[in-house]
Structure 1
């Protein structure tokens, strides 16, 4: 029984530790370099020495554990690797999000189906120009002040249920996605579920750049759906200027 309990404890400890994502050579170099930095920091002293001590300790911990959070950030999830293989992309970034909107399904679907409405709540979308019934041209802001463009085609359209799309051949950023509309429980309106996947510019390095600039797809999807909720429920998306104007209007006039 003691052996079984010990094995259970060992298993629990192993499961609680972050998975290793560094090779033996990387671990050795990281640990050795961390030790050198730590020794230099002790001799240096002062603020610079204190900061270097923290850096050295982090490098030693990286080598000891075999885990690097930066490597984890840059690594694609299994589902993303599967998407990339299926689509023939070099890599993929994917995200899904959902929100409940206090409006009938028909109203939410109709608003989203008119692609000219999309820039009203999708913050990174500068414009969507309708080409025909199923195709449109997109201009989207990218990190580092760039813009990217592509044509997209609606590949699935089930009124009041689901819309699917994908970028056309030759797109600067290849992407696919879908959005579903379902009656929310208790008559609370519409449950909207969205998913998107795209091929990052510059591959996995592009994923890191996007995250550093707040352009990570998971955050984009969440924020865009929150703005969609605001647009449909209130008719506008609050901005800092609008909030200041509302606050000024609410203040009583000075006597």
Structure 2
């Protein structure tokens, strides 16, 4: 860069495309690491094969250099043009649809009493009511990992039909969710739609590993759904130890 823009650097100005300012960082940590690693590989490969296949080698070197600048500066011109901020922790959404052979009022009443949820959700240790519209949740994990607690409130409710909730500001786990209850066709019980959204802690790093964590959480919730269905239909209390 010093060879290409010597006057700008001598005058203390920034690169016209890659500004050297933390305010302009729009790539998360995981993506920056990947860019540096991939850029280094392409640049090395381009230099190594410069005389063997100049056109391909130069293309690799240019691409590698671009990725290196992208990773080291933390700035992506394409993201900037699209108005995207890659440092923001995007929500991870999980949806589950299932049918329970019980009346809508019965299914709604059981779910609405959040204290019941740890009976079939193996990752929940407890849910305690703290106020008219506030509950304290505690999640447990395997391997001696300390439990995590947060508070959540109901933001929308329609009796026998809909419950929507969200964690309150400052919670360790930022999450929102909704569960909708509808009559199944031909009187075949209740159709339930569960939507759960959460943000991984850790900012950009959390976003970067979200694609790894999401299948694990989705499988856990899918198992919770099966446990809930089994409990409501057969009265079986599943084993919740993890």
TM-score by length of 2: 0.59
1:38-73 per-residue CA deviation (whole Å, 9 max, x = no partner) reads xxxxxxxxxxxxxxxxxxxxxxxxxxxxxxxxxxxx
**Cα distance in 1 for residues equivalent to 2:159 and 2:131:** 18
**Residue 101 (structure 2) aligns with:** 102
Q: For residues 61-80 of structure 1, what are the structure 2 equivalents within 5 Å?
A: none
Q: Partner residue of 2:69?
A: none
- The answer as to whether partners of 2:121 and 2:240 remain within 8 angstroms in 1 is no
Provide the rounded CA distance (Å) in 1 between the counterparts of 2:240 and 2:122.
14
Q: Provide the rounded CA distance (Å) in 2 between the counterparts of 1:188 and 1:118.
A: 24
Residue aligning to 2:53: none
Instruction: State the 1:132 CA deviation.
Output: 2.1
Q: Which has the higher helix share?
A: 1
Distance 1:119 1:188, change over 3 A: same
Q: SS where residue 96 of structure 1 aligns?
A: strand
Q: Measure the CA separation in 2 of the matches of 1:165 and 1:209.
A: 25
Residues 193-231 of structure 1: per-residue CA shift (max 9 Å, x gap): 0001111123125535635xx7x3322332211111011
2:41 corresponding residue in structure 1:
29
What are structure 1's unaligned runs of at least 5 residues?
A: 1-21, 34-84, 242-255
**Count of residue pairs the alignment pairs up:** 164
Verify: 1:186 aligned to 2:186, yes or no.
yes
* Contact 2:120–2:240 (CA under 8 A) maintained in structure 1: no
**Partner residue, 2:174:** 174
3-state SS of paired residue (1:176): strand
Write out per-residue CA displacement over residues 113-150 of structure 1, whole angstroms, 9 at most, x where no aligned residue: 00100111111111000112321000012576232111
Bigger mean CA offset, 195-204 vs 99-108: 195-204
Contact kept, 8 Å, 1:125 with 1:139, in 2: the verdict is yes
Match of 2:207 in 1: 204
CA distance in 1 between partners of 2:88 and 2:121 (Å):
24
Specify whether residues 166 and 31 from structure 1 end up closer, same or farther in structure 2 by C-alpha distance, changes over 3 A only.
same
- Distance in structure 1 (CA, Å) of the matches to 2:147 and 2:209: 14
Partners of 2:88 and 2:192 in 1: how far apart? Answer: 28
CA RMSD, 1 decimal: 3.2
Segments of 5+ residues of structure 2 without an aligned counterpart are 1-33, 46-84
Q: 1:69-148 residue pairs with structure 2 within 5 A?
A: 90-142=89-141, 145-148=145-148
Report matched runs for 1:200-239 at 5 Å: 200-202=200-202, 203-207=206-210, 210=213, 216-239=216-239
